[in-house]
Structure 1
Amino acid sequence: MTDTKWQKSSFSGNVENCVEVRSFDGMVELRESDEGHVILRTTPAALAALLQGIKAGEFDHHA
């Protein structure tokens, strides 16, 4: 897999404080732009499962 540059979330608009994502070494990495040194690393399957759960409302009771 080719490593990619960080991509900003399309929901962030023109603000500097945003979520960024990239693929790196077969994994998916996430970070918040204003804390760029803190990186969450996971598998594509685990991220897909998390996003599916969020969309299905599985975590709404934590809000």
Structure 2
Amino acid sequence: MSDTIWQKSSFSGSGGDCIEVRTANSLVELRESDDDDIIVRTTPIRFAAFLRGAKAGEFDHHTANA
């Protein structure tokens, strides 16, 4: 059972293609709102490291041609 409900970024607007996140059993879970059967789980420490990297632009080259 999860500790919280799924949340999505306020930047997502009303579109259906966004990433949702929640905590469950001391882990962070992520899923795509339009494909909610696939859930990625990680630790809070690793998720925080990912967020720091995303904010710093470390992954921007992956979206250059999107």
State if a TM-score over 0.5 links the two structures: yes
Task: Name the one with the larger helix percent.
Answer: 1
How many aligned positions are there? 62
| TM value normalised by structure 2 | 0.81
Counterparts of 1:30-49 in structure 2, within 5 Å, are: 30-49=30-49
Runs of 4+ residues deviating >6 angstroms: none
Q: CA deviation at 1:41?
A: 0.3
Provide the identity percentage.
61
Change in 2 beyond 3 A, CA 1:57/1:8: closer
Gaps of 5+ in 1: none
Change in 2 beyond 3 A, CA 1:35/1:57: same
